[in-house]
Structure 1
């Protein structure tokens, strides 16, 4: 009886350890993208509809302005979750983006892909190109919706970075954080509510995306903010994801502080040389990490009076943030 009780307590205290093989999670700093904690965070797994975050991000990079598009038969009959598009009808790409992110419409994903990429295959190529250019090394897409395919995979860390990059785009942030989106068609007025339960009920949960297939299990991405801190949590194949996301975000908010690594302004490097930073750099660090932070300024060897340098913040021997600075010299 004692062994059973101890096992139950262990599962309650460590909900992630109770998951089946093939699960993972990652927690990253929403400001820098630095990995704060994780398990199997670099292991490629199916991510289901979390794919749609990259679909939206890629589309907004190609077509940032709202446009009308005619829904194809292929889009209207797309397999899986749907916002019930009809072949031949005209819909705005803005509506489709909200239907994609809030209601996870596979038909919206197909329609957006055809509009921006010329074809589904053309758009998926662009998704993969953008993934490579953004350093998503464990990610490969075969479709824009997240329908299961053998090689359609990403890692928890890469998926967290998808939301990280997305939230840097103001339009993506607006869509992903919307609770309810009203729209109007020829059939009349309607609205879509965000499927993400925490965005609806948890004050610190600002944005996110849900996902599910039989192969992937439950997948979830959430962007949290509290007291100036921002945290992104991703879980793959976790049946207790709502509670786990709340637990992990609360743990980070409790254990990590927002530390100003360097303030914007002018810094005297040598008597004849100054470095100008245009931004203040703040990082999430715990007490032990704070002791390991250091600043390194790299100055290229050139003859000009004004040039660029690179200011890096190191955690131990690893650079975690690098920004360009103006270097001014006086002769």
Structure 2
């Protein structure tokens, strides 16, 4: 009896004490949406297929391409695009913003093709724009071969860099408007369409405000979600995760519980050197977990010259890696 009791107690302790693996994903990343700092991850830097998460960058590239907004005539090639579709008809004219809604909410490959042709002159030309923009934003492990995410052995990104894609895109006001939309009504001459965002968490989880779904046989289920809670903003990306909805909720809950929004430098005037002051017009706040503040360092860059007032840069680094930089007013006494 005693032996049986001992085994039962040990088993119970094992079950209670065993760490829970929050994700069955092949790779995942949780990043601070304001700084891009990695908060949690596994295989986050491994290049993998991302499927339709590609469309985050397609929309962002289109919106910042400089092309004039307006109607796009749907080509036969766009109308017959392989994969998920919003059922565009060849020869019809559709507003580009409508196509962007169809791209982000319904993952229309036909919409991706039409937008690419319009902004890039051809699909190939637009993919080059996507790649150039990726390089500009430091996405060194990301390669695009098409605007929709259809499988190609070279079309790869990482969980971390895909998270950065969503972070950069959400800084664009039009992208944010579209990506946070739960339902969009589109009407043409023949029908009225009610497009519901495929991202399930946007309809069921108050902290999930934007995101994108993806799937191909090669990539498996891919998912990106932008969460906001108590002024904390995080992005979760999972690649090849069969239980991605649960994983995103678990990882977001873990991040919100672990990280606090900490004021690193208050708004106000700081004495840098005798006769030199730096004024922060807004406080610097970061997501930090217990013990991390000791790894922070601050650097104030002061422009050359003896001007009474100038603009400098206040940089905060974590483990000697810069994570945030903001303008600061430098005042010097002559």
Provide the TM-score with structure 2 as the length reference.
0.91
User: Aligned partners of 1:94 and 1:33: how far apart in 2?
Assistant: 28
Secondary structure of 2:186's match?
strand
Deviation at 1:303, TM superposition (A): 4.8
Deviation at 1:266, TM superposition (A): 3.2
Q: Which residue does the alignment assign to 1:126?
A: 129
Unaligned runs of 5+ in 2: 1-7
- The structure that has the greater radius of gyration is 2
Secondary structure of 2:146's match?
coil
Q: Which residue does the alignment assign to 2:4?
A: none
CA contact (8 A) 1:15 1:240 kept: no
Change (3 A) 1:173 1:10: farther
5-14 or 126-135: bigger deviation: 5-14
User: Aligned partners of 2:297 and 2:145: how far apart in 1?
Assistant: 42
Determine which of 143, 154, 157 is the counterpart of 2:157: 154
Change (3 A) 1:92 1:133: same
Query: How many residues are aligned here?
Result: 327
Q: Which residue does the alignment assign to 1:241?
A: 244
In the alignment, is residue 14 of structure 1 matched against residue 21 of structure 2? yes
Matches within 5 A, 1:1-331: 13-16=20-23, 18-19=24-25, 23-63=26-66, 66-331=69-334
Unaligned runs of 5+ in 1: none
Deviation at 1:260, TM superposition (A): 1.4
CA contact (8 A) 1:205 1:225 kept: yes
User: Aligned partners of 2:287 and 2:46: how far apart in 1?
Assistant: 24
User: Aligned partners of 1:104 and 1:314: how far apart in 2?
Assistant: 38
Secondary structure of 2:292's match?
helix
CA contact (8 A) 2:67 2:119 kept: no
User: Aligned partners of 2:53 and 2:272: how far apart in 1?
Assistant: 46
Secondary structure of 1:199's match?
helix
Secondary structure of 1:141's match?
coil
CA contact (8 A) 1:311 1:323 kept: yes
Secondary structure of 2:291's match?
helix
User: Aligned partners of 1:109 and 1:308: how far apart in 2?
Assistant: 42
CA contact (8 A) 1:26 1:160 kept: yes
293-302 or 248-257: bigger deviation: 293-302
Deviations 1:162-184 (A, max 9, x none): 00001111111111110000111
Change (3 A) 1:24 1:109: same
User: Aligned partners of 2:266 and 2:167: how far apart in 1?
Assistant: 23
User: Aligned partners of 1:7 and 1:137: how far apart in 2?
Assistant: 42
Change (3 A) 1:119 1:8: farther
234-243 or 296-305: bigger deviation: 296-305
